[in-house]
């Protein structure tokens, strides 16, 4: 037997959760006026090298790379931002009438990581990106969007962790301070960090191996190296969050694991009790130089991405259930003539908006009843030899155990009446008695 690849999984049991997440994503995205964008699952490898960064763990260790038959270097997308930026530039969305441009996306991402709870090799993200505004209110809107989405899902006990890196000048000041701090103790760091010290010292701060090393714990904080303008930007973001009554914690050690960030960076976490160490359900921030780096016009941008699998674990752990996968009608038939009548009625019912099913396995009446139960049918419509002869059907309401015999032509209306009972439609209430 061929089995699934390590770090992947089949969505079977969890499909209800996933669909609920997708539904809420659509609704909240409309409220915030973000349009969906769908970009390819694979892109030129150089796109990720130039955006996420050569020396990040994602690009240096975790990408799925392949050379196609035309000898091109391809990479399965490890995240969504780079592809959306590429699409923004390639489709000249910076020239669109609507500005700033606001997009959201949903789909699989691929990272060759060590699989564990909440960490997969193929996982899904719901992400959002805004292009064209450097307004701190947009940083705050993006965070509000993420928080509102979690509210819609009824996920509570989340914390927004926030920090700022500042723009180029502040980042350069900080880099210098960090190098000065680290240079005496580099030899005591892991092999990767010794390399990072030369290539990209900031990445040392999100090293998974050296997290508890005092040299890192006592490292200087970006917030202390901000130029005035960048500090004002961050303060304005915080003021807007306060105005929207969004709780946050400034976490001066937060730097994020991707190179493109400037200014605001944030992560949303749920308690470790729910998700263990992989308790970050959302990460994001501003990236004001990426569009230009990838060949577009100077365009400030900001965004986030949620990990869907981690959201599902959080939903389950909080005992949040998804709506039942109930349906309306299961047809119970006896004999060929009855099956044909059921086929005809079922098509009419389905066009009329009722969710229906019937037996296609020639099962006994008892087994068909069982199926109607397994499939959560609200009604069973029974058609036997007598019903065929009299052109009637027998409807049984599983909620009340009441039965009704009606002509087959009236069956649809009868079921609709019963469904609408108690919904404020007086005629339906009368008719159902
Ligand atoms: P990221 O922090 O790399 O950011 O990923 C965002 C989220 O994806 C994480 O917080 C986590 O919930 C989920 N995630 C990441 N890796 C895995 C994995 N192996 N298995 C399961 N879930 C995972 C980004 O991807 C940025 N593109 C976010 C962004 C958008 N920044 C600006 N715009």
Residues found in the chain: 433
Does the reported pTM lie above 0.85? yes
What CATH number labels 15-166+226-317? 3.30.930.10
pLDDT attached to residue 278: 87
First-last CA distance in the chain: 56
Comparing CA positions, the residue from 252, 279, 25, 331 lying closest to residue 159 is 279
Answer whether 303 contacts ligand 1 (Cβ < 6 A): yes
Comparing CA positions, the residue from 399, 371, 404, 401 lying closest to residue 387 is 404
> Cα angle at 162 between 202 and 235, to 5 degrees?
105
pLDDT attached to residue 209: 86
The one-character DSSP state at 41 is S
For residues 244 and 141, is the Cβ–Cβ distance under 8 A? no
Q: 155 CA to middle of ligand 1, Å?
A: 18
Q: 304 CA to middle of ligand 1, Å?
A: 8
Q: 303 CA to middle of ligand 1, Å?
A: 11
Torsion of CA 64, 278, 164, 162, to 10 degrees: 140
Query: Of all atoms in ligand 1, which is nearest to the CA of residue 306?
Result: 7
Measured N-to-C along each axis, helices 136-152 and 228-243 cross at an angle, to the nearest 10 degrees, of 30
pLDDT attached to residue 276: 84
Would you kindly state where each structural domain of the chain is located, as residue ranges? 15-166+226-317, 327-422
pLDDT attached to residue 430: 66
Answer whether 310 contacts ligand 1 (Cβ < 6 A): yes
Torsion of CA 200, 206, 207, 210, to 10 degrees: 120
Q: 400 CA to middle of ligand 1, Å?
A: 48
Superfamily of the domain at 327-422: Anticodon-binding domain (3.40.50.800)
pLDDT attached to residue 427: 67
For residues 103 and 35, is the Cβ–Cβ distance under 8 A? yes
Ligand 1, atom 4: closest residue by C-alpha? 283
Of the residues 127, 305, 312, which should be mutated to test ligand 1's pocket, given the most ligand atoms within 8 Å of the CB?
A: 305
Q: 308 CA to middle of ligand 1, Å?
A: 10
pLDDT attached to residue 324: 66
Structure tokens at 284: 């994001």
Answer whether 309 contacts ligand 1 (Cβ < 6 A): yes
pLDDT along the chain (433 residues), means of 10: 98 94 97 98 97 91 97 98 98 98 98 94 98 98 98 93 96 95 92 91 88 91 97 98 97 92 97 86 98 97 98 89 82 97 98 97 97 96 98 97 97 96 69 52
């Amino acid at each position: 037997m061929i089995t699934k690849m390590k770090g992947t999984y089949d969505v079977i049991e969890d499909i209800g959760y996933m669909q609920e997440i997708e539904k809420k994503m659509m609704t909240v995205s409309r409220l915030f006026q973000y349009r969906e964008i769908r970009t390819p699952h694979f892109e030129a490898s150089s796109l990720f090298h130039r955006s996420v960064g050569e020396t990040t763990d994602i690009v240096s260790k975790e990408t799925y790379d392949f050379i196609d038959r035309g000898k091109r270097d391809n990479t399965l997308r490890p995240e969504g931002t780079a592809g959306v930026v590429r699409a923004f530039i390639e489709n000249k969305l910076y020239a669109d009438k609507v500005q700033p441009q606001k997009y959201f996306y949903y789909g699989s991402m691929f990272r060759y990581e060590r699989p564990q709870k909440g960490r997969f090799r193929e996982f899904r993200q719901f992400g959002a990106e805004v292009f064209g505004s450097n307004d701190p209110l947009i940083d705050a809107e993006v965070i509000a969007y993420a928080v509102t989405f979690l509210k819609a899902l009824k996920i509570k006990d989340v914390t927004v962790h926030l920090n700022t890196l500042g723009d180029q000048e502040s980042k350069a000041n900080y880099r210098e301070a960090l190098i000065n701090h680290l240079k005496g103790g580099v030899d005591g760091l892991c092999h990767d960090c010794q390399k990072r010290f030369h290539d990209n010292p900031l990445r040392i701060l999100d090293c998974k191996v050296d997290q508890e090393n005092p040299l890192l714990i006592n490292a200087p904080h970006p917030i202390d190296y901000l130029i005035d303008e960048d500090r004002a930007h961050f303060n304005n973001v915080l003021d807007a969050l306060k105005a929207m009554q969004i709780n946050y914690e400034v976490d001066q050690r937060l730097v994020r694991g991707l190179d493109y960030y400037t200014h605001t960076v944030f992560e949303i976490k749920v308690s470790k009790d729910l998700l263990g160490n992989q308790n970050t359900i959302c990460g994001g921030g501003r990236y004001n130089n990426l569009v230009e780096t990838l060949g577009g016009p100077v365009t400030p941008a900001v965004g986030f991405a949620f990990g869907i699998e981690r959201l599902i674990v959080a939903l389950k752990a909080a005992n949040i259930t998804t709506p039942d996968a109930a349906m309306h009608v299961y047809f119970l038939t006896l004999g060929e003539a009855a099956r044909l009548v059921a086929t005809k009625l079922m098509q009419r019912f389905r066009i009329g908006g009722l969710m229906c099913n019937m037996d296609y396995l020639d099962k006994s009446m008892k087994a068909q009843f069982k199926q109607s139960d397994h499939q959560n049918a609200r009604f069973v419509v029974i058609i036997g030899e007598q019903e065929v002869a009299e052109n009637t059907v027998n409807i049984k309401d599983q909620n009340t155990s009441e039965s009704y015999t009606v002509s087959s032509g009236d069956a649809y209306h009868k079921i609709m009446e019963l469904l609408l009972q108690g919904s404020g439609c007086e005629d339906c209430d009368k008719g159902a008695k």
